[in-house]
């Protein structure tokens, strides 16, 4: 009985401990207790004895580490629908807890860096392989421009946004996925994205 017990302990999560503790246990108080009380020891007593021999209590934390959260970075030209897609995602997937989008456009009045967006998306590149990078596009440049018309105040701002969008689209191959957020098809972008 004691042999079986020992083998379970040895194959436990203490593999990285020096081997000397095993000797200490096998030749120490535990064996003595097992034999001197006619096998009347309760499981609790055995555990306490083992803990005392090891010099620390058994850890009740889960041995299996909690899963690493998947980080999804959603990028795309201004006005393509990043916020709209994320809002829908959060409504439909309970497991998504917290999302902050990154943008290369300047901050607007009232927006807070790290709350509404991270301004300077390149810093997210340091996440490397631990994140999935998604690039959101409209079905065409015209579709994006039409979407921008409704929210762009000045002609100059409009031209800057279009120029920026053209630059951003050039880097599309650096992303893991490209998702099309077509006009009136937000649900599809969320579903297949
Ligand atoms: N599939 C779609 N069809 C029609 N309109 C859409 C679609 N997706 C988003 N929109 C609308 O386009 C506008 C821009 O969307 P949104 O604010 O989500 O873009 P964004 O990429 O987050 O922009 P920015 O980076 O400038 O903050 C909003 O009015 C939104 O309702």
Residue found under tokens 């340091």: 126
Give me the pLDDT at residue 153, please.
72
> 164 or 39: whose pLDDT is higher?
164
Give me the pLDDT at residue 115, please.
63
Q: Report yes or no for ipTM above 0.95.
A: yes
The CA distance from 166 to 144, in Å, is 11
Residue found under tokens 């800057």: 160
The CA distance from 132 to 174, in Å, is 11
Name the residue with the closest Cα to ligand 1, atom 14. 79
Question: Does the pLDDT value for residue 188 go beyond 50?
Answer: yes
Q: Is 108 a catalytic residue?
A: yes
Give me the pLDDT at residue 128, please.
64
Pocket of ligand 1 (CB under 6 A): 76, 78-84, 103, 105, 147, 181-186
Q: Is 179 left (phi over 0), alpha (psi -120 to 50) or beta?
A: beta
Lowest-confidence region among 44-53, 88-97, 179-188: 88-97
pLDDT, one tens digit per residue, over 11-50 is 334 444 444 444 455 555 656 655 555 556 688 888 999 9
List the catalytic residue out of 93, 125, 151, 166: 151
Instruction: State the distance from the centre of ligand 1 to the C-alpha of 84, rounded, in angstroms.
Output: 6
Quick count: other Cβ atoms within 10 Å of Cβ 174? 10
**pLDDT-derived band at 178, boundaries 50, 70, 90:** very high
**Ligand 1 atom nearest residue 136's Cα:** 21
Q: Is 155 a catalytic residue?
A: no
Q: Is 147 a catalytic residue?
A: no
Domains for the chain: give ranges and CATH numbers.
2-54 (no CATH), 71-192 (3.40.50.300)
Q: Per this entry, what is the length of the chain?
A: 193
Is the pTM above the cut of 0.80?
Answer: no
**Ligand 1 atom nearest residue 147's Cα:** 12
End-to-end CA distance of the chain, in Å?
A: 56
Question: Does the pLDDT value for residue 155 go beyond 80?
Answer: yes
Give me the pLDDT at residue 39, please.
57
Instruction: State the distance from the centre of ligand 1 to the C-alpha of 86, rounded, in angstroms.
Output: 10
């Amino acid at each position: 009985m004691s042999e079986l017990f020992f083998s379970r302990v040895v194959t436990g999560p203490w593999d990285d401990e020096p081997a000397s503790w095993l000797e200490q246990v096998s030749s120490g108080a535990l064996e003595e207790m097992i034999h001197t009380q006619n096998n009347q020891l309760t499981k609790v007593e055995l555990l306490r004895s083992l803990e005392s021999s090891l010099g620390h209590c058994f850890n009740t934390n889960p041995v299996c580490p909690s899963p690493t959260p998947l980080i999804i970075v959603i990028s795309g030209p201004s006005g393509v629908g990043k916020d709209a897609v994320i809002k829908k995602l959060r409504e439909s997937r309970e497991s998504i807890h917290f999302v902050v989008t990154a943008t290369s456009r300047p901050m607007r009045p009232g927006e807070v860096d790290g709350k509404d967006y991270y301004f300077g998306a390149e810093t997210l590149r340091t996440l490397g392989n631990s994140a999935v990078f998604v690039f959101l596009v409209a079905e065409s440049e015209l579709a994006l421009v039409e979407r921008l018309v409704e929210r762009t105040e000045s002609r100059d701002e409009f031209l800057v946004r279009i120029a920026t969008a053209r630059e951003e689209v050039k880097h599309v191959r650096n992303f893991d996925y490209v998702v099309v957020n077509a006009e009136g098809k937000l649900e599809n972008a969320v579903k297949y994205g």
